[in-house]
Structure 1
Amino acid sequence: MKTVIYHNNRCGKSRCALQVLEESGKPFELIEYLKTPLTATEIRDLLKKLGKKPLEIIRTKEAVFRENYQGKNLTDEGWITALVEHPILIERPIIVRGDKAWIARDEAGLEKI
């Protein structure tokens, strides 16, 4: 089963997850989501695999969030639109294998790789 990593090269935790994948020797697909932004459909699919709501994968400390969305009460579709328009808001790295996905920001997430 192929593994996919949604990666931001500027993120240390994302680079660490990528290194773990590379060292595993297993095939994987690298998606640099800032260079190739996700569609709303792709985000919905990721959310389903993650078992999360859109707001749960939003980086609330990003300037874009604070300037445009802090204090707003959007619907799930509104948050998905925000993620499409500002992919920097997507928590990373996201690892997908089959119909499961997880955010690999900590040791437990890396161990699943």
Structure 2
Amino acid sequence: MTIQILHNPRCSTSRNVLAMIREAGLEPEIIEYLKHPPTREELVSILMAMDASPRDILRTKEPLTKELGLLDPARSDRELVDAMLENPILIERPIVITRKGARLCRPAERLSEVL
């Protein structure tokens, strides 16, 4: 099974999900999205696989989110995606992508939905 994880090694939930994947006997492609952010096409594709909107993966507790006014419900999906592409720290993690779909694995137990 091909499996990818948008990962931040500094995040305990992201580290836990990576460990759970490995405990399942799989070795994922690890994408450190802060170093290698997704392209617009990749991010939109992930959102489509999740059946989610950009707001669903926005890190609401990240100070930059408030600073940029991204919590305003009037902000469009395009504006949120633009902000995430410019500032990948705004993307919630970890996101796991498999042939079964993509999930924001927060809480980590959501991993089972795509394994």
Extract unaligned runs of 5+ from structure 2: none
Alpha-carbon RMSD = 1.5
Partner of 1:8: 8
1:61 aligns with 2:61: yes
Q: Which one-letter code corresponds to 2:42 in the other structure?
A: E
The answer for the alignment partner of 1:43 in structure 2 is: 43
- TM-score, normalized by length of structure 1? 0.91
- After superposition, the C-alpha distances for 1:31-51 in whole angstroms (9 at most, x for unaligned) are 000010111111100000010
How high is the TM-score relative to the length of structure 2? 0.89
Question: What are the ranges of 5 or more consecutive residues in structure 1 without an aligned counterpart?
Answer: none
Query: Which letter maps to 2:94?
Result: P
SS at match of 1:81: helix
Which structure is richer in relative contact order (CA contacts within 8 A, separation 6 or more)? Answer: 1
Match of 1:109 in 2: 110
| Corresponding residue pairs, total | 113
Report the CA distance between 1:107 and its aligned residue: 4.6
